[in-house]
Structure 1
Amino acid sequence: MRLCLGCGEMKPKRELIRVVKAPDGEISLDTTGKKSGRGAYICPDPGCLEKAQKARRLERSFSCRVEGDVYDALQQQLAAATGSGDHLPEGG
């Protein structure tokens, strides 16, 4: 069981998506669950990522500042990983 940083619910690990801070400092989604680095979990729901951003929960989990463009990239990766068409490509 893991805790979602957005909604705060405990869910099985397989139902959540791992966000990882790599040793080089890069923050990204880990859809395989095997990347090295510090991990945190969110539901595959864009709303949970927004809640985590507003409450700065990723910053607390990773003990570093997380810029807005990182959250934007995570939103796009989350949409691609879940197959949701919420984000249209630029210029389209």
Structure 2
Amino acid sequence: MTVAKKKQPLRKCVVTQEMFPKKDLIRVVRNKDGEVFVDESGKMNGRGAYLSRDLEVINKAKKSNILNRHLNTQIDDSIYEELTQKVSES
């Protein structure tokens, strides 16, 4: 008897358009009040966008304002600083 492996959820990076396992990406979420957070748990309520854990991807997202478009709001520089810090730590 074989044990079935649990299927890993895949998500697409909004910058590179590549599919990755959900745990390998960083989620940025906008809640219904319009506040934007970096979602470590991946379970916060709201509109989410996923980014690869790569400094180049974070910088490209900032330059192209891609998160602004995906989340339909203005993203503060502090969010990009927090993302950069999280990528540097890992």
Q: What is the TM-score of this pair, normalised by structure 2?
A: 0.73
Are 1:25 and 2:31 an aligned pair?
A: no
Residue among 43, 63, 67 paired with 1:54: 63
What is the distance in 1 between the residues matched to 2:69 and 2:31? Answer: 16
Q: How many residues align?
A: 81
Match of 2:53 in 1: 44
Divergent runs of 4+, >6 A: none
Q: Which amino acid aligns with 2:43?
A: K
Larger Rg over CA atoms: 2
Structure 2 equivalent of residue 88 of structure 1: none
Amino acid at match of 1:16: L
Identical counterparts, % of pairs: 40
Q: CA RMSD in A?
A: 1.9
How many Å separate the matches in 2 of 1:49 and 1:26?
A: 19
Q: Specify the SS of the correspondent of 1:8.
A: coil
